[in-house]
Structure 1
Amino acid sequence: MKFSSRNGLKDLPSAVKCLENSIEACLTFFICPEEEWISLRTTNIIERLNKEFKRRTKPMEIVAGENACYTLLAFICLKMELHWKSNPIG
């Protein structure tokens, strides 16, 4: 279905209602400095982190308990954060 502003309210009322209900949450990134907007308005970083979790845990047949799994995921997060700090977006 094509969306145009002319028929949007009529054809996609649930989408419009959803946006109306969450417009403030959708625009909160404007509170941050403008140079950070590009990294805040996309889910690429989250998707990349989830992909890294899968890549690191998939070859493991077993993890030595829940705490060991959390420790591994925390290590992955810290490593990714260090990489992002040294290679900023934009």
Structure 2
Amino acid sequence: MPAGAWTRAGSGRRARCLNRWVAAGSPDGADILFTGQGRHASEADYPLTDHAGWLACGYAEDGVEFTVLHDSQSPGLTTDTAAAAVAVRASLATG
């Protein structure tokens, strides 16, 4: 994450990113929300061995328009988290 970025956990309704998520803010005021997939869809707090992919969505400042940055069904938490981070970094680099 770039300098000045922040993270928070929370809940709310945002298109495909529903209920529980982890959010990272970007310097331009946008939010990037991460949530689980599979049987833990719309969750970010579950046993590590139950990981079934990440969904990462980038939201514009209006909180309505979004872009799917990473949509995985991978059970490999470490590999999947690294891939999600690469996707988010690429999105931040290109704006």
* TM-score, scaled relative to structure 2: 0.31
More strand by share: 2
More helix by share: 1
Greater Rg over alpha carbons, structure = 1
* TM-score, scaled relative to structure 1: 0.32
